Amino acid sequence: MHLDDFHRIEMRTDRATGLRAIFALHDLTLGPALGGIRRWAYPDDNEALADVVRLARGMTAKNALADLPFGGGKSVVMAPGSARPGHRCGPPSRAITVPELHKLGEWIDDLGGDYVAAEDVGMRVSDLVTAGTRTAHVTGIGRAGLGGDPGPRTALGVFTGIRVVAERLGFPNLAGLRVAVQGLGSVGMALCKRLHDAGARLAVADIDAAKVARAKERFGATAIPVAGAMLADVDVVAPCALGGAVTVEVAQEMPARAIAGSANNQIACPQAADTLRRRGILYAPDYIINAGGVISAGLEYLGRDGFDERVCGIGRRLERIFDEAQATGQSEAKVAENMTQRVLASATERREAHHAPAALASVA
């Protein structure tokens, strides 16, 4: 891993509670690093570090392209548990304790406001509320009547993006659109409801059979195996679980015409993105389409309203990315990466221009 571009990475251990966590603050050009806390069972510290590094870089891009005054960061809590067969990590074997949450809040506070935390996989909003008794630098908890649980708002952003994708595929609306949703957590289930209400036909996959059964009953969904979800015979695949689902092999074989979901880091490598482009499979970059939650959490932390207007911007940004990809022949992932770099470079130039007169005056 190349870590030279990170502002700060810390691994912390508390002997009293057994809590272990890594904080990765990637880029603070636009402001303090905003990103969620993921609590997961990792096979070793290297896997945890690799995960938090990927996620933190993704948050820099997500916040930059959502036009938020925040940099990118993430934290992972190494939880007890074991990975499922064929997977590098898995869900925690027990809930996080109040003493652990208090310590986590103290660690966040120790970072002096450089990191603003929200919930992510393996954490609940109520956990952030408890951690928030030890720090003011948490968000996504509904402070002052703003924001609240980011999950449903992430789902709204993904739904908004899928509508744009459907239009590109020739659907005037979502009626009859076949969508495979991989992962039925708070975001995936909320997305299913919105898609069902709009007339989409759903296929669903999750490691929790009870959630699959619920989706079948509520939305008339068809159950599909988790391992085969990305290869489902549908129009759109919506990865809403963990990242890395789109490998080169998947990109070469998938019958779907588009990928549009909430999972972070969906593309396993640049070659997979290029393969999608060559095959004409539309990819909605994850950190564009899943930004609804961080927009909500960021505005809450700033004490501002205006979520509805900003979430509509997700569709407009996707349109620009699709247009540029078509015009240049680049993958959507590469176009989004270039957009991120332009935003950060512009912010750096403005900051340097702002400080230049004072520096010249001191020399004179």
Q: Enter the DSSP assignment of 134.
A: S
What pLDDT is recorded for position 359? 47
Is the confidence at residue 231, as pLDDT, over 70? yes
What pLDDT is recorded for position 30? 97
Contacting residues for 159 by C-beta, under 8 A, at least 6 apart:
191, 194, 195, 198
Is the confidence at residue 76, as pLDDT, over 50? yes
Residue found under tokens 């924001």? 147
- The rounded distance, in Å, linking the Cα atoms of 132 and 160 is 31
Cα–Cα–Cα angle for 24, 27, 29, rounded to 5 degrees: 150
- Best CA proximity match to 70, nearest among 311, 294, 288: 294
Provide the residue type at 353 as one letter.
A
E strands, the chain, in order: 8-13, 20-27, 33-40, 71-78, 115-119, 178-182, 201-205, 222-223, 236-239, 258-259, 282-283
Say which CATH architecture domain 8-63+70-138 belongs to: 3-Layer(aba) Sandwich (3.40)
What pLDDT is recorded for position 88? 65
Cross-strand pairs, 27: 72
Lowest mean pLDDT among 40-49, 102-111, 349-358: 349-358
* pLDDT one-digit tens code per residue, 323-347: 999 999 999 999 999 999 999 999 9
- The rounded distance, in Å, linking the Cα atoms of 123 and 271 is 32
Residue 62 falls in the annotated catalytic set: no
**Where does the chain hold its CATH 3.40.50.720 domain(s)?**
151-336
Q: How far apart are the first and last CA of the chain?
A: 44
pTM of the model: 0.90
Say if residue 26 is exposed, middle or buried (CB neighbours under 10 Å; 0-12, 13-18, 19+).
Answer: buried
- Best CA proximity match to 286, nearest among 59, 56, 71, 5: 59
Is the confidence at residue 173, as pLDDT, over 90? yes
Is the confidence at residue 84, as pLDDT, over 70? no
Would you say the C-alpha torsion 9, 187, 340, 302 has a positive or negative sign? negative
Cβ–Cβ contacts within 10 Å for residue 193, how many?
16
Q: Is 181 helix (H, G, I), strand (E, B) or coil?
A: strand
Residue found under tokens 């403005």? 350
Encoding tokens for residue 280? 């004409």
Is the confidence at residue 85, as pLDDT, over 90? no
Q: Give the confidence band of 362 by pLDDT, cuts at 50, 70, 90.
A: very low
Distances in Å between the alpha carbon of 313 and those of 116, 288, 295, 307?
A: 23, 10, 11, 10
The share of the chain scoring above pLDDT 90, in percent, equals 87
- Give the mean pLDDT of the chain: 93
Catalytic residue among 62, 74, 103, 334: 74
What pLDDT is recorded for position 2? 82
258 compared with 356, residue with greater pLDDT: 258
213 compared with 359, residue with greater pLDDT: 213
Is the confidence at residue 361, as pLDDT, over 70? no
Is the confidence at residue 59, as pLDDT, over 80? yes
Residue found under tokens 């332009």? 342
Distances in Å between the alpha carbon of 364 and those of 151, 329, 358?
A: 54, 50, 10
Q: Give the confidence band of 363 by pLDDT, cuts at 50, 70, 90.
A: very low
- The rounded distance, in Å, linking the Cα atoms of 7 and 256 is 39
Strand pairing report for 71-78 and 20-27: antiparallel
Q: What is the average pLDDT across 201-209?
A: 96
Q: What is the CATH number of domain 151-336?
A: 3.40.50.720
Residue found under tokens 């002096």? 112
- The answer to whether 92 touches 79, Cβ cutoff 8 Å, is yes
- The answer to whether 68 touches 295, Cβ cutoff 8 Å, is yes
**Where does the chain hold its CATH 3.40.50.10860 domain(s)?**
8-63+70-138
